[in-house]
Amino acid sequence: MRRSLILLNFAIHTATFRGADTFLTQADQGDPMARSHNPNSATNRTIDALDRKRERERRFLMVKARDNAPELATILVQRLIDEHIIETNSTRAIGEAVEKQLKSMIDVEEFDMQFKIAPIRSVAQDPNIISLYITQFVIEDLIDHPNIQDVYGDDFDVYKAVDSVLSKIRP
């Protein structure tokens, strides 16, 4: 009994009262030796780790796409033609346009990338950002290319064809 009174008395003397029912402890007063506990810090660390992992994967994909752009562009154009997504009179010109996009993607600002893929972000469960970007390129920009006669299919069909090629560089 006496020991609990001594501990209670010690707690009261080391705390500064702040209103009727609450008081500040040494940790709240900024004592460097006291340790405060923030329950959100573990959650924030986890979210930051996931963001760093996603960013590393994104950079890895973009570097691989840039380094393998000629081969990927050739395969991608052939897949789009085989799946009857595009109709063209010059596969070489379309391949060069896709290759240029694959090479320049790494230099695109994050905001511009997100803005470009925003209309089709919900097309897949776990979308590949490069596949989304190239899909949007085919849907919006490639349709205006002078060597493209027509683009067929909906967003998902184009994404599926593009992702079937670009998923091979995904880690």
Nearest to 118 by CA among 139, 104, 94: 139
Give the mean pLDDT of the chain: 82
| Cα gap 83→99, rounded to integer Å | 19
For residues 102 and 63, give the distance between their C-alpha atoms in angstroms, rounded to a whole number: 9
Q: Please answer whether residues 119 and 45 qualify as being in contact, where contact means their C-beta atoms are separated by less than 8 angstroms.
A: no
- With a cut of 60, say whether residue 24 has pLDDT above it: no
Please give the average per-residue pLDDT across 113-129, as a whole number: 89
Distance CA 46, CA 162 (A): 32
Q: Indicate if the pLDDT at residue 2 is higher than 60.
A: no
Predicted TM-score of the model (pTM): 0.71
Evaluate whether 127 touches 115 at the Cβ level (below 8 Å).
no
Q: How far is CA 141 from CA 34, 64, 148, 155, in A?
A: 60, 23, 10, 14
**pLDDT greater at residue 7 or residue 166:** 166
Q: Is the pLDDT of residue 26 over 80?
A: no
Is 80 exceeded by the pLDDT of residue 65? yes
> How many Å from the N-terminal Cα to the C-terminal Cα in the chain?
64
Burial of 150 (0-12, 13-18, 19+ CB in 10 A): exposed
pLDDT per residue as tens digits for the range 134-169: 999 999 999 899 999 999 989 999 999 999 999 888
